[in-house]
């Protein structure tokens, strides 16, 4: 298998994965839809940072130790589950407070830091605390590294393909969310968005906690 064939084959696999609606998509859409464009790009960069870390660790063989160690995997799994449940619950509580206080909850939510760093931290934590991303890389990445090719360099190159596709898809998501920004400026629409996104994120956290 040539490196060119490898890149295209890997791009097809991770491209389908990227397009599949999931936690990352929900987080980026929700942040961008609320008009926080800078924070949304921070979330995107944080997610891609997490992917780069998982790809680098897999290329070095480190994540194989994670999947081999039940204790390490369980610690990371529960940390990720708690974080996602907390984040989802906070969105649901904010939406509920918005209804109870006739908009004061909305004003409080809009005070959330509009910074690239805050978004990056949220995206990175969401990705790095998800051991299933590491398991995916351990199971898939080595299969696309041709025999005789430098393992670490090729692994990073493939990871960069995944990152590039993620950035392109995120660009489309943010543009779509911005197009709906006018409608989502309505308090009721923002509360509905928080309810849906909070439920999705909490659901991922619960699924991770149950080990499904």
142-153: pLDDT as tens digits: 888 888 888 899
Tokens read off for 134: 């590491």
| Distance from C-alpha of 145 to C-alpha of 83, rounded to nearest angstrom | 33
φ/ψ (deg, to 5) at 184: -80, 0
- Residue by residue, what is the 3-state secondary structure of the chain? CCHHHHHHHHHHHHHHHHHCCCHHHHHHHHHHHCCCHHHHHHHHHHHHHHHHHHHHHHHHCHHHHHHHCHHHHHHHHHHHHHHHHHHHHHHHHHHHHHHHCCCHHHHHHHCCCCCHHHHHHHHHHHHHCCHHHHHHHHHHHHHHCCCCCCHHHHHHHHHHHHHHHHHHHHHHHHHHHHHCHHHHCCHHHHHHHHHHHHHHHHHHHHHHHHCC
- Split into its structural domains, the chain has a count of 1
> In which band, very low, low, confident or very high, does the pLDDT at 84 lie, cut at 50, 70 and 90?
confident
> Nearest-CA neighbor of 162 among 32, 48, 38, 56?
48
Residue 184, phi-psi category: left (phi > 0), alpha (psi -120 to 50), beta (remainder): alpha
Query: In percent, how much of the chain has pLDDT > 70?
Result: 87
* pTM of model > 0.85: no
> In which band, very low, low, confident or very high, does the pLDDT at 102 lie, cut at 50, 70 and 90?
very low
pLDDT at 169 over 90: yes
pLDDT at 106 over 50: no
Residue-number span of the structural domain to which 59 is assigned: 3-210
Tokens read off for 29: 């859409």
């Amino acid at each position: 298998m040539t490196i060119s064939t490898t890149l295209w084959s890997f791009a097809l696999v991770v491209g389908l994965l990227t397009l599949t609606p999931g936690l990352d998509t929900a987080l980026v859409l929700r942040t961008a839809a609320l008009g926080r464009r800078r924070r949304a790009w921070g979330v995107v960069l944080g997610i891609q940072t997490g992917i780069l870390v998982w790809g680098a660790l897999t290329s070095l063989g480190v994540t194989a130790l994670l999947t081999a160690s039940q204790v390490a995997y369980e610690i990371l799994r529960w940390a990720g589950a708690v974080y996602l449940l907390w984040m989802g619950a906070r969105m649901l509580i904010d939406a509920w407070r918005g209804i109870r206080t006739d908009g004061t909850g909305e004003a409080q939510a809009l005070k959330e830091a509009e910074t690239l760093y805050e978004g990056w931290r949220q995206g990175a934590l969401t990705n790095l605390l998800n051991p299933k991303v590491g398991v995916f890389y351990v199971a898939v990445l080595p299969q696309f590294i041709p025999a005789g090719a430098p393992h670490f360099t090729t692994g990073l190159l493939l990871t960069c393909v995944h990152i590039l596709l993620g950035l392109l898809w995120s660009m489309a998501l943010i543009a779509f969310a911005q197009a709906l920004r006018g409608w989502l400026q309505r308090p009721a629409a923002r509360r509905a968005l928080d309810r849906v996104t909070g439920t999705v994120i909490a659901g991922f956290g619960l699924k991770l906690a149950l080990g499904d």
